[in-house]
Structure 1
C-alpha cells in the first residue's frame, strides 16, 4: 500500500503493519489507522504516522528512555480494548513536542500510547497521576543523573 507521510515522503507500507485505534486519538477521533516508522536507524525516536492524513505524524519515543522509573497500571477495560493477554505484547510510547533543540523538547508522560503489537491495536491512555507531566523535559532524567555524579 502506498501512502504519503509527513517526514518520510511517499512510502510503501505492509497493510499488516497498520495499527488500529478503535476510538482514534484524543483530538483526532476520526484518525483510526496509523503506522509506526523509525525516524532513522540510530535514533530512539519513531513516527506514529496516520495512513490517511499526510500531515498527521507524531514523533514518539519509549518513555522508559526518558524516565527509567516510569510506571502505570492499565484498567481491565483498557486491557480488554487492546486484547492484552501477555505483557510482552505491549509497546509503550509517548508523544514528543519537538522544539528547536532536543534539549528543549518535551514528552507527554501523562498520556502514553499503548500498542498491542501482536494484535496491531492501539490506544492513548490518560493517566491521573500528578507525578507525570504532559510536558516532561526530554533531558530531565539525564540532568538529574548528572547532578548525582
Structure 2
C-alpha cells in the first residue's frame, strides 16, 4: 500500500507492519493507524508516521539507548489492553521534541509509546512516576550514563 509521509514523501509500506492504536494518541484520538519508518541510517531515530494523515509524524527513539536506567512497570490494564503475553513482545519508544541545535532535543520519558510487536497493538502510556519528565534532554542522559 502507498502512503504519503511527512519525511519520506510517497512511499510503499507493508500493510502487515501497520500498528493499531485503539484509542489513538493523546491529542490525536482520531488517528489509529501508524507505521514506524527509519529516520537515521543508524536506526537510533525513527518516525511514527500516521498512515492516514501525512502531516502527522512523531520522531521517536528507543529510550534505553540514551538512558540505561529508565525503568517502569505497566499497569495490568495496559497489559490486558495490548494483549501482552511476554516482556519479549514489548517495544518501548519515546517521542522526541526535536530542537535546533539537535543536541538540545528532548524525550518524553513520562509518556512512552508501548507496542506489542506480536499483534501490532500500541498505546501511549502516561506514567504516574514523577521522576520522569516530558522534556528530558537526551544527550545529557548519554553523558551521565
**TM-score when normalising by structure 1:** 0.94
Unaligned runs of 5+ in 2: none
Q: Which residue matches 2:111?
A: 111
Q: In the TM superposition, what whole-angstrom CA distance separates every residue of 1:102-128 from its partner, at most 9, and x where no partner exists?
A: 211100000000000110000000001
Deviations 1:37-88 (A, max 9, x none): 1113224000000000000000000010111110111111100111100110
In structure 2, C-alpha distance between the alignment counterparts of 1:13 and 1:43, rounded to whole Å: 17
1:62 and 1:43 map into 2 onto residues whose CA distance is 10
Q: Kindly state the Cα deviation for residue 144 of structure 1 after the two structures are TM-superposed.
A: 2.2
Distance 1:75 1:128 in 2: 10
Query: Which residue number in structure 1 is paired with residue 7 of structure 2?
Result: 7
Runs of 4+ in 1 over 4 A off after TM superposition: none
Q: Give the root-mean-square deviation of aligned CA atoms.
A: 0.9
Q: How many residues align?
A: 145
Q: Check the 8 A contact 1:83/1:116 in 2, yes or no.
A: yes
The answer for unaligned runs of 5 or more in structure 1 is: none
Q: Give TM-score scaled by structure 2 length.
A: 0.97
